[in-house]
């Protein structure tokens, strides 16, 4: 892997960038865009956002001295150009691949990366803390937070702004305003940002007048208030009143986000001010690449590998987990007028867009605000509706308190559909949906389903929205649907029913497989049968709470093995152990799951293989365990992914 030649190849650090003559910066910007399209076309990645921040990132690194000055990106998917300018051009051949360059800022890659944030609306809080730390230590360092307008729809931003505005610490907030998050930015904020027009020079004059008048007894303060009122009146005539002024923040802009010299001028002014300043940069997502500029859906926000000439994806279309949910959602909504959809800035990726196409008045996109989404859903449920909240699994982590106390405590019928559950691949550990089963296991009254194929997505979603006395969750992975896997027997009906996928005459091992791992379990069973063991494979369908049918089956076998794509700690395996203990069933249990940790990026199959979650690995482990069940060493057998345990009577 080598760096590109020419002007771009000569820029391997911010110091190199500052030596580039101003008249050659447009040439450099053009080379960066060409580089981005060429590289991301091969690996997939966040193309549109980075095409939009080329000039902005150039200006930032020419004005501020990274890494002494700290530049934070919110969210981190807009940091590709930053990586290119800080010595990592050669790594783009392995972008988002196993052992390759991360698709987000990564502290292990470079001192220029401060935070590894891929969840929006956090950078301002990080920046506030950094600025406080530098002030306490007497260090004269600048902190810059580059915040997308979509991120400003998140509540954490406004909590941070409230604190930042009350300080005098040097902190520059660059609002990257492209009118979009994944899709067009939602809400009144977006409308307001588009119209902000202020004169920072006027602000400084006003402050000097205020200081002068405040020294004049009696007359001064009233005169200032009159002057301030006149000023606000004039601004209301000339331009909309900005929200930032009311917070007490200085504002520079709007600035053309593709005019490097204008951006540099604005950033220099903000840097010299010495306190918190907003710089409002107007950018165009997908800038300079025609297929991205004309993509109305999301400006090629995060494509997979594509043809760089046309922007068209290289992968052939296939049936997706998300599509199976979206189709059933529309069908159910056609049967029930109380069904409404909620999402947080990702209507398309979560399938909610399909519902909006048919029933636009029954879909609510709240922007990047998962906490609000969940409590708003609670309000809808209180009002007699049945909300379906569709999120990526990783983003529900942010709204756990709202699910617990605003939904579950009130026993409200809200259905959560968690896309991208389990190991998701190239976006890395912050996007893995491996925490949901463990986290949600402590919520009283919550039922959680994990369908194994497309038919079960539809079936279990219908069962979920039929519940009217508490929250339900349906979780599934990303990617293409597997082949339908029919049951040979169903025990029970509705929630609590389990599907028996295989039952041998001998009852040596009970394999209880969560969701899409049912296919893996069937492969494992075939391998074990080849060695003479009798195996029963069960899909529990609803993994929270544990079905009594799973407990009854466990009592008939010599060994129980649970297999899931969530973390072991507090996962489904733990729940089975507890259920068997409560029922005084003393069969040994082995739980195979994802070890607790932040696991490296890669394809889903690469990561599962690295974690020992393949049919070959599982079969080999189970063979050893069942052979030793009756030996003196059956009490505890340790490996990184599991532990043999006998439930206490």
Predicted confidence at residue 193, as pLDDT, reads: 47
pLDDT at 24 over 50: yes
| Chain segment 123-146, per-residue pLDDT in tens | 999 999 999 999 999 999 999 999
Q: Give the active site residues.
A: 285, 370, 398
Predicted confidence at residue 197, as pLDDT, reads: 34
pLDDT at 480 over 70: yes
Closest listed residue to residue 208, CA positions, set 224, 192, 190:
224
Mean pLDDT, residues 330-342 taken together: 98
Q: Measured between alpha carbons, how far is 400 from 394 in angstroms, rounded to an integer? A: 11
Residue percentage of the chain with pLDDT more than 90: 66
pLDDT band at 387 (very low <50, low <70, confident <90, very high): very high
Q: Measured between alpha carbons, how far is 131 from 123 in angstroms, rounded to an integer? A: 12
Better-predicted residue by pLDDT, 584 or 197 = 584
What are the residues whose beta carbons fall under 8 Å from the beta carbon of 172, sequence distance 6 or more? Answer: 142, 143, 144, 145, 267, 270, 271, 276, 277, 279
| Burial group, residue 620, by CB count within 10 angstroms (0-12, 13-18, 19+) | middle
pLDDT at 33 over 80: yes
pLDDT at 243 over 50: yes
pLDDT band at 460 (very low <50, low <70, confident <90, very high): very high
Range name among 127-131, 189-193, 246-250, 361-365 with the lowest pLDDT average: 189-193
Mean pLDDT, residues 225-246 taken together: 46
Four-CA torsion 482, 40, 76, 194, nearest 10 degrees: -110
pLDDT band at 189 (very low <50, low <70, confident <90, very high): very low
Q: Kindly report the number of other CB atoms within 10 A of residue 79's CB atom.
A: 29
pLDDT at 203 over 90: no
| Chain segment 56-81, per-residue pLDDT in tens | 999 999 999 999 999 999 888 899 99
Better-predicted residue by pLDDT, 158 or 552 = 552
Predicted confidence at residue 119, as pLDDT, reads: 79
DSSP state of 404: I
pLDDT at 409 over 70: yes
Closest listed residue to residue 174, CA positions, set 124, 130, 105:
124
To the nearest whole number, what is the mean pLDDT of the chain? 86
Using an 8 Å Cβ cutoff, are 644 and 622 in contact? no
Predicted confidence at residue 3, as pLDDT, reads: 57
Predicted confidence at residue 156, as pLDDT, reads: 86
pLDDT at 220 over 60: no
Within 13 Å and on the Cβ side, how many CA atoms surround 30?
7
Task: For 303, list phi and psi in degrees, rounded to 5.
Answer: -70, 155
Residues of 137-171 as b/e, b for ≥16 C-beta within 10 angstroms?
eeeebbbbbbbbbbbbbbebbeebbeebbeeebbb
pLDDT at 190 over 50: no
- DSSP assignment of 54-85 equals HHHHHHHHHHS-TTTSEEEEESGGG-HHHHHH
Question: Which residue stretches of 150-298 are H helix?
Answer: 155-164, 188-193, 200-214, 220-238, 243-247, 260-273, 290-293
pLDDT at 637 over 70: no
Task: For 499, list phi and psi in degrees, rounded to 5.
Answer: -100, 125
Mean pLDDT, residues 305-328 taken together: 91
| Chain segment 254-293, per-residue pLDDT in tens | 899 999 999 999 999 999 988 899 999 999 998 988 888 8
Predicted confidence at residue 647, as pLDDT, reads: 43
| Chain segment 430-459, per-residue pLDDT in tens | 889 999 999 999 999 999 999 999 999 999
pLDDT band at 630 (very low <50, low <70, confident <90, very high): low
pLDDT at 342 over 90: yes
Predicted confidence at residue 640, as pLDDT, reads: 36
Q: Measured between alpha carbons, how far is 585 from 460 in angstroms, rounded to an integer? A: 28
Using an 8 Å Cβ cutoff, are 310 and 287 in contact? no
Q: What is the pTM of this model?
A: 0.84
Predicted confidence at residue 636, as pLDDT, reads: 41
Mean pLDDT, residues 617-638 taken together: 72
Structural element, H or E, at residue 561:
strand 559-567
pLDDT at 632 over 60: no
- Tell me the longest C-alpha to C-alpha distance in the chain: 98
pLDDT band at 580 (very low <50, low <70, confident <90, very high): very high
- DSSP assignment of 6-43 equals HHHHT--SHHHHHTS-GGGHHHHHHHHHHHHHHHHHHH
């Amino acid at each position: 892997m080598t760096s590109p030649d020419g002007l771009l190849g000569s820029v391997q650090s911010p110091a190199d960038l500052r030596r580039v003559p101003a008249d050659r910066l447009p040439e450099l910007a053009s080379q960066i865009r060409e580089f981005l399209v060429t590289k991301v076309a091969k690996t997939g990645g966040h193309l549109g956002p980075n095409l939009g921040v080329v000039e902005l990132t150039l200006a930032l690194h020419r004005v501020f001295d990274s890494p002494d000055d700290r530049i934070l990106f919110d969210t981190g998917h807009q940091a590709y150009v930053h990586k290119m300018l800080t010595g990592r051009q050669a790594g783009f051949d392995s972008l988002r691949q196993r052992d390759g360059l991360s698709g987000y800022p990564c502290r292990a890659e470079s001192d220029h990366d401060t935070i590894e944030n891929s969840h929006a609306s956090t950078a301002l809080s990080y920046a506030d803390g950094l600025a406080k730390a530098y002030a306490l230590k007497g260090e004269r360092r600048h902190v810059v937070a580059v915040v997308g307008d979509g991120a400003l729809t998140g509540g954490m931003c406004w909590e941070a702004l409230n604190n930042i505005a009350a300080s005098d610490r040097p902190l520059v907030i660059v609002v990257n305003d492209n009118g979009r998050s994944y899709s067009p930015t939602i809400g009144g904020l977006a409308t307001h940002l588009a119209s902000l027009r202020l004169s920072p020079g006027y602000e400084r004059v006003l402050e000097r007048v205020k200081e002068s008048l405040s020294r004049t007894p009696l007359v001064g303060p009233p005169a200032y208030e009159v002057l301030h009122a006149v000023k606000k009146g004039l601004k209301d005539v000339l331009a909309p009143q900005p929200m930032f002024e009311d917070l007490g923040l200085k504002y520079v802009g709007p600035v053309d986000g593709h005019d490097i010299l204008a951006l540099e001028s604005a950033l220099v002014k903000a840097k010299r001010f010495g306190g918190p300043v907003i710089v409002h940069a107007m950018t165009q997502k997908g800038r300079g690449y025609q297929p991205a500029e004309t993509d109305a859906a999301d400006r090629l926000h995060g494509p997979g590998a594509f043809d760089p000439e046309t922007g068209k994806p290289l992968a052939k279309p296939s049936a997706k987990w998300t599509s199976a949910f979206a189709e059933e959602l529309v069908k159910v909504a056609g049967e029930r007028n109380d069904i409404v959809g909620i999402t947080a800035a990702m209507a398309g990726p979560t399938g909610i867009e399909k519902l909006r196409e048919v029933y636009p008045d029954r879909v609510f996109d709240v922007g990047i605000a998962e906490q609000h989404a969940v409590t708003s859903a609670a309000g809808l449920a209180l009002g007699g509706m049945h909300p379906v909240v569709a999120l990526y699994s990783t983003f529900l982590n942010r709204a756990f308190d709202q699910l617990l106390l605003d939904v579950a405590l009130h026993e409200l019928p809200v259905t959560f559909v968690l896309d991208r559950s389990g190991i998701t691949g190239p976006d890395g550990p912050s996007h893995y949906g491996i925490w949901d089963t463990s986290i949600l296991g402590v919520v009283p009254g919550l039922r959680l389903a994990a369908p194994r194929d497309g038919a079960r997505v539809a079936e279990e979603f219908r069962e979920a929205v039929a519940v009217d006395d508490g929250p339900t969750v349906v979780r599934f992975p990303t990617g293409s649907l597997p082949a339908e896997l029919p049951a040979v027997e169903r025990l029970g009906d509705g929630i609590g029913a389990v599907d028996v996928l295989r039952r041998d005459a001998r009852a040596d091992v009970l394999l209880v497989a969560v969701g899409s791992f049912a296919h893996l379990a069937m492969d494992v069973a075939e391998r074990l049968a080849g060695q003479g063991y009798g195996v029963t494979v069960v899909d529990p369908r609803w993994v929270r709470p544990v079905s009594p049918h799973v407990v009854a089956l466990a009592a008939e076998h010599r060994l129980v093995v649970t297999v899931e794509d969530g973390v072991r700690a507090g996962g489904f395996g733990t729940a089975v152990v507890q259920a068997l203990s409560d029922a005084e069933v003393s069969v040994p249990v082995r739980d195979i799951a994802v070890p607790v940790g932040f696991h490296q990026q890669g394809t889903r199959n690469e990561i599962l293989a690295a974690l020992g979650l393949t049919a070959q690995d599982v079969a080999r482990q189970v063979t050893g365990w069942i052979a030793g069940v009756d030996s003196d060493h059956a009490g505890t057998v340790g490996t990184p992914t599991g532990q043999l345990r006998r439930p206490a009577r």
